[in-house]
Amino acid sequence: MIRTAITSFLFLSAFFSCSQKKPSEEQKQTVLFVCTHGAARSPIAAAYFNKLAKQDGLNYEAIFRGTEPDEVLTDGTVSGLSADGFDVNQWKPQLVSKDDMRAADKIVTFDCSLPDFEVSVQAEQWNGTPSISKDYNIARNAILAEVNKLVIKLKKDTN
């Protein structure tokens, strides 16, 4: 009987210690980047945000969506991000959903209007970003400058 009680206690202790999340395993907060087609600006922003957030140890993860998504990323986005060292082979634009918007801790739009869903987060607008099709590097640098500012702000807010 005592052996059964001890075994049960050890089992339950092990179970609960494994099921509790450690601080480093906490659910990441989500940044939602949205552009019209989900095929250029928002994927670039998400790629660089995720890279910088990881480097800085931020507990954030970015996703990208479109309000009228294309079937695939633009050729300029694929070639540019690939040249920058990102593997985008499996990336595909998706329609922004109510669930995406409700789950987001931060929403950033690029020259588009979001669907009229009730959300608790006010969207920040990064309008006027240069066109990817005209010059990837100029557009990427403008997006990266904004992403850097956002990462710095989120870092300050979490400390």
Residue that the structure tokens 């099921």 belong to: 19
23-37, 66-80, 92-106, 118-132: least confident range: 23-37
Residue that the structure tokens 């395993």 belong to: 25
Record the pTM.
Answer: 0.83
Counting Cα atoms < 13 Å in the Cβ hemisphere of 50 gives 16
* Higher per-residue pLDDT: 11 or 27: 27
Report the percent of the chain where pLDDT is more than 70. Answer: 84
128 torsion bin: left (phi>0), alpha (psi -120 to 50), beta (else): left
Report the percent of the chain where pLDDT is more than 90. Answer: 76
